[in-house]
Amino acid sequence: MLVTTKEMFANAFEKKYAIGAFNIGNLEIIQGVTRACAKHNSAVILGVSKSGLKYAGAGYLKKMIDAAIEETGIDIALHLDHGTDFDIVKEAIAAGFTSVMFDGSHYDYEENVKKTMEVVKYAHDKGVVVEAELGVLAGVEDDINVDSSLATYTDPDQAVDFVQRTGIDSLAIAIGTSHGAYKFKGEAKLDFARLETITKKLELAGHKNFPIVLHGASAVDPHAVELCNKYGGQIKGAAGIPTEMLRKAASMAVCKINMDTDIRLAMTAYIRKHFGENPASFDPRGYLGEAREYIEKSVEDKILNVLGSAGSSINGKSCCL
């Protein structure tokens, strides 16, 4: 069923796992993600960016998600990813989204607080939960393009102040993740000490078990990258977050992990493979069907080896499609 993330995150924090957030934009991605989750009765967050809304349309996406819920019965939160202004937040809520992210990280701190408070009041009045961001992630993804020199880690004391003043339901922090497929030039590093400090300070301030979110947390599957390049791609030097680091984050306060790039790579790799091996092919059901199968396998791997979210859907059918 379509739900908010509140109960999802409460269970995730207590049992030390995370819910996967996968961005969607077409039928095959929605089916691949939700069918994988149904196999393991995992709750899931389906994210839609501003460009995703423009591409597919809120109405089409909502109807496809309704169909996925009817098929699987699992808990699904429909989430606006990186909403940068009030208008896009209102559009998402009007379309039936149960969760919105307001990303005011490009504003100065006080302006971020002010605008986030306005979004929280509007969303909460309509029963919609709000995620916000503090700190700036580097990388390129959809409308996000931040040079690494401008990235800033989240200040723990500021995080406490931000949560208290805005009334948000979850907080996306910057501890070393990055948007896109090129996250690291050298060794991957996440500041787990900062994550722990933020969690402890929030608890001391009366926000026990406050859900933390990691954006830009794709592992950048080497197999998918290899396939892309084998069949004509030029994805050289791509590097993501090691799965063991993501699993550690999920065992701490991180209740939501965003993994958009891995889904894109999975789809692109198998479409390239299909055409490389079947140059005369022109039936979209063939190449999109193969891509959908690999998306499903990729998400299954995330559930079992990164998120630990199997069995987390309270309303699921525990089915295997």
Residue 126 tokens, joined: 């309509």
At 317, is the secondary structure helix, strand, or coil? coil
Distance CA 201, CA 161 (A): 10
Concerning whether 81 is annotated as a catalytic residue, the answer is yes
Distance CA 278, CA 148 (A): 40
Question: Residues 231-238: contacts with CB within 8 Å, 24+ apart?
Answer: 231/269, 231/272, 231/273, 231/275, 231/276, 232/272, 232/276, 233/268, 233/269, 233/272, 235/181, 235/265, 237/182, 237/185, 238/181, 238/182
Q: Given the residues 66, 75, 81, 221, select the one marked as catalytic.
A: 81
Distance CA 168, CA 211 (A): 10
Q: Is the CB of residue 21 less than 8 Å from the CB of residue 306?
A: no
Beta-sheet pairing, 254-258 with 129-134: unpaired
Active site residues: 81
